[in-house]
Amino acid sequence: MAETPSKSSGLFGWYFGSNLLIRILTGLVLGAIVGVILGLNPGTKVTTNFIFFANFFGALFIRLLKMIVVPVILFSLITGAASITPSQLGRTGGKTLLYYIVTSIISVSIGLIVALVFRPGEGLNMVGAEGAPEKAASMPALTDVLLNIVPTNPVESLAKGDVLPIIFFALVVGIGLSYLRDSKNETLAKQAHALYDVIAAAAEVIYKVVGGIMQYAPIGVFALIAVVFAQQGPKVVGPLLYVTLAVYVGLILHLCIGYGGLMTLFGLNFVTFIKGAWEAMITAFVTRSSSGTLPVTLRVTEENLGVSRKISSFILPIGATVNMDGTSIYIAICAMFIGFAVGHPLSGDQMLMLMITATLAAIGTAGVPGAGAIMLIMALETVGLKVEAGSAVAATYALVLGIDALLDMGRTAMNVTGDMAGVTIVAKTEEGMLDESKWKK
Ligand code: ASP
């Protein structure tokens, strides 16, 4: 769905008539400037009032996006799974899985290398408080994680917005529909086609709504960014600035080496990709939610990158939930940071363990703001850095948590970029799934 420039004149005409991307970028830059200025005077009436109102307008944007997440996943996944043959579904799924595994390995490795070069936290000598009670987080059993993917009541999952069970349910319904559409029984095939048309139309309506919501994005982006900077700005100094830098270097390296390398390998122009993917990257950056960004991700991969909705509609919702390279880079670097900061740099064995847990933790991370920070606790536990209240580890973790919004923006943008790169590469390898005319501009 393209932007529809309004014919009306005046401020609204100018607003709706100008380029959406430029408007979003303007919101981003203005938000950062206003936030930093206000952040210099925390606690003043102006700053407090501004944060109050900006929170309102920012939350409105997040709510609008969240509103359409469940319908987007449900309708687009059913349509996606139903519009290709079951055998193609298996083949595409296999390739996607392979892509996820390869990029996860690259991302964690880059995270560890960057941490070893930067050595963030070294010499920080963090100490904990004495006599504090102990508290440890535990990793849910793998069997439970797997079983919970299958909903016992799909309606309950839809109502609660549990993404993985919804994906599972939508996939099986879509596959069932795909078989019925091919049925030899004419009545059944006709019914299946009718149902398919209804669900496909519902998906179209939702995409239309997404386009409308994006018109509000520049204002939402301005508000969200301004709040982050107004609250965090002055705190981001010294070691924290350094660990932030390390995380962003890791993310950018992964973007260029991991995604750039893979795209080049598959004959895709990386610059064209970034230009097309930009809108979703920025939305992810400011909303800090892969799931919340999903509607935009779906739209840009189809409109700008030319990926057929037949595959994007089922690969992207899965990717937004399980494929999180940005989060694994963040976990790897921050765990190393905490090790250095408390004077227990991770050993080779611990780093190997960290590679595995960072990957698994990223898979288990929900595509919502701050989820990765919770998984970081679990990764720390598995390498023996127990987050016990009052300990040096807990104190350093709290520091990282303090700047989580900044780290989350970068990692979420990378998570979403990884999803888009993956679906584009898979589409390129499938007959008729990538509209290459979009790449020749
Ligand atoms: N906010 C991230 C996302 O939605 C997850 C995380 O916190 O790492 O992709």
Q: Report how far ligand 1's centroid is from the alpha carbon of 280 (Å).
A: 14
Residue from 262, 307, 298, 300 nearest 432 by CA: 307
Chain centre to alpha carbon of residue 206: 20
Residue 326 pLDDT = 97
- 91-to-30, 97, 411 alpha-carbon distances in Å: 46, 10, 29
Residue from 253, 256, 264, 255 nearest 425 by CA: 264
Is the residue at 388 inside a domain? yes
Q: Nearest C-alpha to atom 1 of ligand 1 is from which residue?
A: 369
Q: Which atom of ligand 1 is nearest to the CA of 362?
A: 8
Q: CB–CB of 353/383 below 8 Å?
A: yes
Question: 325 CB under 6 A from ligand 1?
Answer: no
What letter represents residue 36's amino acid?
V
C-alpha triplet 80, 82, 84: angle, nearest 5°:
75
Is the residue at 6 inside a domain? no
Residue among 368, 403, 420 whose CB has most ligand 1 atoms within 8 A, to mutate: 368
Residue from 358, 352, 341 nearest 394 by CA: 341
Is the residue at 116 inside a domain? yes
Confidence of residue 132 (pLDDT cuts 50, 70, 90): very low
Confidence of residue 5 (pLDDT cuts 50, 70, 90): very low
Give the mean pLDDT of 342-358.
87
Is the residue at 4 inside a domain? no
Q: Nearest C-alpha to atom 8 of ligand 1 is from which residue?
A: 372
DSSP symbol at 133 = P
Give pTM, 2 decimals.
0.73
143-168 burial: b if 16+ Cβ within 10 Å, else e: eeeeeeeebeebeebbeeebbbbbbb
Confidence of residue 130 (pLDDT cuts 50, 70, 90): very low
Pick the most confident of 35-49, 266-280, 395-409: 266-280
Is the residue at 8 inside a domain? no
Give the mean pLDDT of 107-112.
95
Domain that holds residue 431: 13-439
Q: Work out the number of other CB atoms within 10 angstroms of the CB of residue 332.
A: 31
Is the residue at 226 inside a domain? yes
Position with higher pLDDT, 1 vs 6: 6
Is the residue at 68 inside a domain? yes
Percent of all residues in the chain with a pLDDT value above 70, rounded to a whole number: 90
Q: What is the CATH number of the domain that holds 297?
A: 1.10.3860.10
Chain centre to alpha carbon of residue 258: 17
Question: 297 CB under 6 A from ligand 1?
Answer: no
Q: Which residue has the tokens 């701050």?
A: 370
Question: 258 CB under 6 A from ligand 1?
Answer: no
Cα separation, 36 vs 227, in Å, equals: 9
Q: CB–CB of 112/351 below 8 Å?
A: yes
259-268, 288-297, 316-325: the lowest-pLDDT one: 316-325
Residue 370 pLDDT = 79
88-102, 125-139, 304-318: the lowest-pLDDT one: 125-139
Segments in 3-85 forming alpha helices (H):
10-17, 20-39, 45-83
Q: Which atom of ligand 1 is nearest to the CA of 374?
A: 7
DSSP-derived 3-state class of residue 324:
coil
Question: 417 CB under 6 A from ligand 1?
Answer: no
The greatest distance separating any two alpha carbons of the chain, rounded to the nearest whole angstrom, comes to 75
Give the mean pLDDT of 174-183.
89
Q: Report how far ligand 1's centroid is from the alpha carbon of 138 (Å).
A: 20
Question: 365 CB under 6 A from ligand 1?
Answer: yes
Give the mean pLDDT of 109-121.
94
How many domains does the structure of the chain reveal?
1
Cα separation, 257 vs 32, in Å, equals: 28
Is the residue at 1 inside a domain? no
How do residues 392-437 score in pLDDT, each as one tens digit?
Answer: 787 778 778 767 888 999 999 999 999 999 999 999 998 889 998 9
- For the packed helices 309-322 and 45-83, what is the interaxial angle rounded to 10 degrees? 130
Percent of all residues in the chain with a pLDDT value above 90, rounded to a whole number: 38
Instruction: Using CA atoms of 6, 7, 13, 17 in order, give the dihedral in degrees to the nearest 10.
Output: 50
Position with higher pLDDT, 65 vs 257: 257
